[in-house]
Structure 1
């Protein structure tokens, strides 16, 4: 689990990022989870946008994505979800203690 201090640090890092995935009316599927897991391995920190035509609640989408990709949910703000997962090979972000 991430501490409050670590979440604040990751939120500040994510502020300048653009969303690289969009969840639309198709909702969350296995293919999307696989792609998000691969992106997290490469980048560690990503944003996902939830479109207005998505039938699911954005908090449910965030939980499903985090659980499926085995990632940490940093925040849900507006229609944007921020996910973090420490990379095994491309470790770039050093979390504060």
Structure 2
């Protein structure tokens, strides 16, 4: 579980990132979860964009992906979700 300080730190890092994953009509399926897991393993911090064609609510999408990938939701802003998952080779050092 991320603390408030850690979430603020991650939001600062995520500000300049471009969305890596797009969620549309297909919604959250196995392929999307696998792709998100790979992206998280490589980058640790990614943005997910929920398109208007997606029938699910953004909070439902965020929770479904986070639970399936074992990630933490750092932020939901508009239709953009910021996800964090620590990889084996740490690239981001979180504050305590």
Bin for the TM-score computed over the shorter chain? over 0.9
Q: Which residue of 1 aligns with 2:80?
A: 80
CA distance, structure 2, for counterparts of residue 5 and residue 92 of structure 1: 18
Q: Which residue of 2 aligns with 1:10?
A: 10
Output the aligned Cα RMSD: 0.6
What is the DSSP-based 3-state SS (H/G/I as helix, E as strand, rest coil) of the residue aligned with 2:92?
Answer: coil
Q: Number of residue pairs matched? A: 96
Deviation at 1:26, TM superposition (A): 1.1
Per-residue deviation, residues 55-82 of structure 1 (Å, max 9, x unmatched): 0001000000000110001111000000
State the TM-score, normalized to the length of structure 2. Answer: 0.98
* Map 1:62-73 → 2, pairs under 5 A: 62-73=62-73
Q: Which residue of 2 aligns with 1:57?
A: 57
What is the DSSP-based 3-state SS (H/G/I as helix, E as strand, rest coil) of the residue aligned with 2:19?
Answer: coil
What is the DSSP-based 3-state SS (H/G/I as helix, E as strand, rest coil) of the residue aligned with 1:53?
Answer: coil
Q: Which residue of 1 aligns with 2:25?
A: 25
State the TM-score, normalized to the length of structure 1. Answer: 0.97
Q: Which residue of 2 aligns with 1:47?
A: 47
Q: Which residue of 1 aligns with 2:95?
A: 96
